[in-house]
Amino acid sequence: MILNILETNLSSKEHAEAFIQLLDTYARDPMGGAHPLSDYVRQNLVQQMRLRQDAVVVMAFMDSTAVGLINCFEGFSTFSCKPILNIHDVIVVPEFRGQGISLQMLERVEQVGLMRGCCKLTLEVLDNNFIAKALYKKFGFSDYQLDPEYGNALFWEKKL
């Protein structure tokens, strides 16, 4: 079996279908919220993603089977005056976990970030997702802080 890691072309029917399938797999997982994608998301997400110039989608295919996905969105660092690439979703389908696919997808994301002139990669991870945290630390991620006296940055949300 041959693993292929690539930036996704959501204009491709094959990639678009794999994108929704992989994201739905993630959404159904407890680490993704444990709920399937809504019909609205299934019907509209590919089109909306295609409109976004700030989106980067990396997928892993084992031969012709889609087995992994990372969605990223470009932000901007005012302190560095450069773009930031935020990793928003990471999924490897359960039967392909433990084979280093996430690490290879992260390497591809890092390459894209460097090509875009980004100053850093960012992500959020659930506190009890020990496997993902170990992977991210192995890849070089760490807690974010400006000054240790003030502690680590926290990721908060306010739903609209």
Strand order in the sheet with 3-7: 3-7, 55-62, 65-77, 82-92, 120-123
Low-confidence ranges of the chain (pLDDT < 50): none
Give the model confidence (pLDDT) of 57-78 as tens digits. 999 999 999 999 999 999 999 9
Model pTM? 0.93
CATH superfamily of 3-150: Gcn5-related N-acetyltransferase (GNAT) (3.40.630.30)
pLDDT value for 55: 97
pLDDT value for 131: 93
Q: Is 98 exposed, middle or buried (0-12, 13-18, 19+ CB in 10 A)?
A: exposed
pLDDT value for 146: 86
pLDDT value for 98: 93
